[in-house]
């Protein structure tokens, strides 16, 4: 490993043949630098391998150049849910090239979560937050505002918010899944939902109920914590009922994959006896046998757009509300025509 000293702005200035002040203006993208001088300075910085000093920037600007993501779920659920992996990768796509640090913390909802936000805000350890898993009357919005920091919320809160938001219309994907199954002849469909304290889980469940009623199909909703374990248990309960569903719409992919495993262990064939749909279209679901029909959302894009929106807010931009493209149902092998007779008969013939 090299012991060479880290290049400074003075080194860049000497290489480019300009003053340190002009280098500072160019590297911070401020006006007053001619295009030729700016390019010469940036080229000198690249040749020397110069990178900004986070400590120096923090001292000179009063900012930490860090953004917080506090996830109010258990670490086990976070680790298992591929959505967060892709979403965080999207945040890092932007933060890593803009001199920002992502500070990630897992916290249980309630008192410990509030302490986590307050701790990260103390001494300006972070400049702003990404708020995920919005809840009814979400207290975190007022909390972050009281800390005099900014934030971006994933989805629209159901209360007044001073912050920008980045949203996806989850209901469109669920409605597409129900319509697809109804067209295949399914008349008894279940939804394995997330916790109703989370707005996006509630909106998906509401969309399911409305779409099922509009299609005149029997339907039931089972609430879980979004984990694979509870998704599997919900599947076992549904399939053991007197009138089990012929199709199950899951609120995320890893519950759908767990449900697929439960069905196969019970000797229930997918999709001959039971059709299954997921949500998020994670990569692993595409390689299952049968491949998983799922609602496709681009979690990585959601992360990149959220990061850019937060950086704009930190730079003083007015709050905006970004709507990403509606998710689309990707039909694969886990859905098929409704079985006849009943799946307990073990045959469609």
Q: What is the mean pLDDT of the chain?
A: 88
- Distance in angstroms (rounded) separating the CA atoms of residues 349 and 339: 8
Asked if the structure places residue 188 within a domain, the reply is yes
Same domain, 228 and 336: yes
- What pLDDT is attached to residue 84? 86
User: Residue 234 belongs to what domain range?
Assistant: 170-292+332-345
CB 177 within 8 A of CB 295: yes
pTM of the predicted protein model: 0.78
- The CA distance from 272 to 247, in Å, is 10
Q: Are residues 184 and 145 in the same domain?
A: no
pLDDT tens figures, 276-318: 999 999 989 999 999 999 999 999 999 999 999 999 999 899 9
In a domain, 3, yes or no: no
CATH number at residue 205: 3.40.50.2300
- DSSP 8-state assignment for residue 49: T
In-domain check, residue 2: no
Q: Do residues 341 and 215 both lie within one domain?
A: yes
Rounded to whole angstroms, the Cα distance separating 107 from 104 reads 10
User: Is there a domain that residue 58 lies in?
Assistant: no
Q: Could you tell me which residue, 116 or 349, shows the higher pLDDT?
A: 116
Q: Dump pLDDT digits (tens) for 181-240.
A: 999 999 999 999 999 999 999 999 999 999 999 999 999 999 999 999 999 999 999 999
Tokens representing residue 145 in the block? 């505002």
Grade residue 347 by pLDDT with cuts at 50, 70 and 90. Answer: very low
Rounded Cα distance, 334 and 83, in Å: 20
- State how far the alpha carbon of 320 is from the alpha carbons of 72, 104, 139, 306, 312, in Å: 24, 24, 20, 11, 10
pLDDT exceeds cutoff 70 at 253:
yes
By mean pLDDT, which of 44-58, 142-156, 293-307, 329-343 is the weakest?
A: 44-58
| Over residues 167-187, mean pLDDT | 96
What secondary structure letter does DSSP report for 88? H
Q: State residue 25's pLDDT score.
A: 76
Maximum Cα–Cα distance across the chain:
83
For residues 78 and 294, the answer to whether their CB atoms sit within 8 Å is: no
Same domain flag for 142 and 267? no
Average pLDDT, integer, range 123-145? 92
């Amino acid at each position: 490993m090299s012991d060479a000293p880290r290049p400074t702005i003075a080194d860049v200035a000497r290489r480019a043949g300009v003053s340190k002040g002009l280098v500072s203006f160019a590297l911070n993208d401020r006006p007053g630098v001619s295009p030729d001088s700016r390019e010469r300075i940036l080229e000198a910085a690249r040749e020397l391998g110069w990178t900004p000093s986070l400590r120096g920037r923090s001292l000179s600007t009063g900012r930490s150049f860090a953004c917080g993501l506090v996830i109010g779920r258990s670490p086990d659920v976070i680790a298992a849910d591929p959505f967060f992996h892709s979403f965080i990768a999207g945040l890092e796509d932007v933060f890593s090239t803009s001199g920002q640090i992502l500070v990630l913390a897992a916290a249980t909802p309630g008192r410990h979560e509030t302490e986590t936000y307050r701790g990260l805000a103390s001494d300006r350890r972070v400049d702003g937050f990404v708020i995920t898993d919005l809840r009814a009357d979400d207290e975190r919005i007022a909390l972050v505002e009281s800390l005099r920091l900014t934030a971006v919320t994933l989805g629209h809160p159901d209360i007044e918010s001073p912050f920008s938001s980045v949203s996806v219309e989850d209901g469109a994907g669920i409605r597409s899944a129900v319509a697809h199954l109804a067209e295949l002849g399914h008349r008894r469909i279940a939804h394995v939902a997330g916790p109703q304290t989370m707005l996006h889980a509630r909106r998906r469940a509401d969309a399911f109920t409305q779409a099922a009623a509009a299609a005149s199909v029997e339907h039931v909703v089972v609430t879980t914590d979004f984990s694979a374990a509870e998704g599997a248990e919900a599947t076992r309960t549904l399939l053991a009922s007197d009138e089990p569903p012929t199709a199950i719409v899951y609120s995320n992919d890893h519950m759908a994959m767990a449900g697929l495993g439960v069905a196969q262990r019970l000797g229930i064939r997918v999709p001959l006896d039971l059709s299954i749909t997921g949500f998020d279209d994670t990569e692993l679901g595409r390689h299952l046998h049968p491949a998983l029909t799922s609602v496709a959302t681009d979690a990585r894009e959601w992360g990149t757009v959220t990061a850019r929106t937060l950086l704009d807010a930190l730079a003083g931009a007015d709050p905006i509300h970004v709507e990403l493209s509606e998710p689309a149902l990707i039909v694969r092998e886990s859905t098929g025509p409704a079985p006849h007779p009943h799946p307990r008969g073990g045959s469609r013939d």
